[in-house]
Amino acid sequence: METTKLYIDGAWREPSTDARGTTVDANTGQPIGSYPVGGPADIDRAVTAARRALDDQAGWGGSTPAERIAIMRRFADAIERRRDAIGALIAAEVGTPLERATFSNADAATGLLRFYADVLERTEIEDLRPAGRGHSLVRREPIGVVAMIAPWNFPLSTLFFKIGPAIAAGCTAVIKPASVTALDSFLIAEAADEAGVPAGVLNFVPCDRATGDHLVAHPGIDKVAFTGSTEVGRRIGRIAGEQLKEVSLELGGKSAALLLEDAPIETFIAELHDLSFSNNGQACTNNSRIIVPDALYDDVLEAIRAEVGGWTVGDSRDASTVIGPVSSAGHKASIERYYGIAAREGARTIIGGGSDSRDGFFVQPTVHGDVTPEMTVFREELFGPAVSVTRYSGDVEEGIRLVNDSEYGLSGGVFTADEQVGIEVARRLQTGTVGWNIANFDFGAPMNGRKASGVGFELGAEALTRYFHYKTIFTPVVPARIGERAPLPGARTGAAVPA
């Protein structure tokens, strides 16, 4: 797949630079396509287009919720027509097994657009409230032009965590896809164009880190929505903070699953893949630390070894594959470096831990036992197909302390036969989401990171509020029109947003 132009202001346009990026098949290490890499001038052009669309009261800036809902549903339909192509491309780019690559990206994108269209359908843009004197008309207005920076591991689901509520709210966006997965963004731009998303509403500019910083710092950007590493998130937060911009930062994790002494081991093992090894370990919500009581330790360790040892590691397009390759040669090297660190620090390798010599970026699924809180693999996000298993006495308070002994707080789990105890322990864990006897993910409920795992939240109907400014209009009487636009005297009208 070769692309030569950038999608900016509703059209395919020549980039300002001759630079190109290459996408590599994680299964083979061979190139599968290339794309243009934008520069600061392309960012400037995209921000200008997004601002123009936002301010166009005869178009997107004056659009009604009904008009935006219609566009979002057409956009979802257009992505759905590209479902198979998107899934196959991401399976190659990231190494995600094909079925999961498809539903976690293409299906997630369409589902999120339809979900936020439904949310907008039941959201009041204005509501009237009684005040001490007269009334307060509370109005929801788009927060503005949003810089969206997506990661490579789930490139489309994480992007549509942002696009869905943003365009529902009436915002516009400049999107920087990750370099590893930039090609799939061109399929999304094609879908947006086919669906009639108005010019300037969505602009796609793959670029390097320096140009990405130019986007974040651009004075025409009102909000930054970022998913990625904690290190980069901190840098974005500093830049945005100096300019008093809104930010949503969904960052790294080192999540833990806590087993109590009555934990249903069979249930835990049935959930293990999605709990701790999702996307070949390349998911920030994976519970990569397993905290196990002394009474169950040997049995749980053997059950994990047997389960992981039975998984097929292979080409992401093979239906029998459970664990595919990781995304790049550099990422493979980083994961295997952690395996070496774990061994040197005294962790016991239960299975895996070596180097996979096949072509492509394959990594051995690995289980480290006897891991203590001082070890690197207990502390740092390895981001690969590996878990560390730590024992504790069985005292619930000790288990909770071990789970919370982390600079991160994104996800977590608790396994116990007692529902009330499980829910109460979940309440005590310092993390944004927790599963009791289940590994789950729900677009309909908020997800937020605590501590070094982020600022703000995404998902759920509540995420729409992250893309609104709230305005209060004081009035001595009940307005004749609430939630409806009225023409100003002498104002010229233009073409309406396509419905």
Tell me whether residue 482 is in a domain.
no
pLDDT of 497 reads 75
The domain of 176 spans 6-251+453-475
Are residues 369 and 273 part of one domain? yes
Closest C-alpha among 220, 228, 214, 180 to residue 200: 220
Closest Cα partner for 46 from 161, 185, 194?
Answer: 185
Same domain, 214 and 144: yes
Q: Could you tell me if residue 481 is inside a domain? A: no
Is 188 found in the same domain as 68?
Answer: yes
Tell me, yes or no, whether 487 lies in a domain.
no
Residue 284 maps to which CATH number? 3.40.309.10
* Rg of the chain on CA atoms, in Å: 24
* Token code pair at residue 168: 């529902």
Q: Residues with catalytic annotation?
A: 250
> Would the pTM count as exceeding 0.85?
yes
C-alpha span between 57 and 221 (Å, rounded):
19
Query: What is the pLDDT tens value at each position of the chain, 499 positions in all?
Result: 899 999 999 999 999 999 999 999 999 999 999 999 999 999 999 999 999 999 999 999 999 999 999 999 999 999 999 999 999 999 999 999 999 999 999 999 999 999 999 999 999 999 999 999 999 999 999 999 999 999 999 999 999 999 999 999 999 999 999 999 999 999 999 999 999 999 999 999 999 999 999 999 999 999 999 999 999 999 999 999 999 999 999 999 999 999 999 999 999 999 999 999 999 999 999 999 999 999 999 999 999 999 999 999 999 999 999 999 999 999 999 999 999 999 999 999 999 999 899 999 999 999 999 999 999 999 999 999 999 999 999 999 999 999 999 999 999 999 999 999 999 999 999 999 999 999 999 999 999 999 999 999 999 999 999 999 999 999 999 998 898 888 888 766 555 677 6
- The candidate with the shortest Cα–Cα distance to 447, out of 188, 253, 258, is 253
How are beta strands 408-409 and 386-392 bridged, if at all? unpaired
Do residues 435 and 469 share a domain?
A: no
Give yes or no: residues 266 and 247 share one domain.
no
Asked if 271 and 352 sit in the same domain, the reply is: yes
Q: Dig out the tokens for 378 from the structure.
A: 């207990």
Range 144-163 burial, b when 16+ CB lie within 10 A, else e: bbbbbbbbbbbbbbbbbbbb
> Does residue 261 sit in the same domain as residue 120?
no
Q: Does 224 map to a domain? A: yes
Strands 408-409 and 450-451: antiparallel
Number of domains in the chain: 2
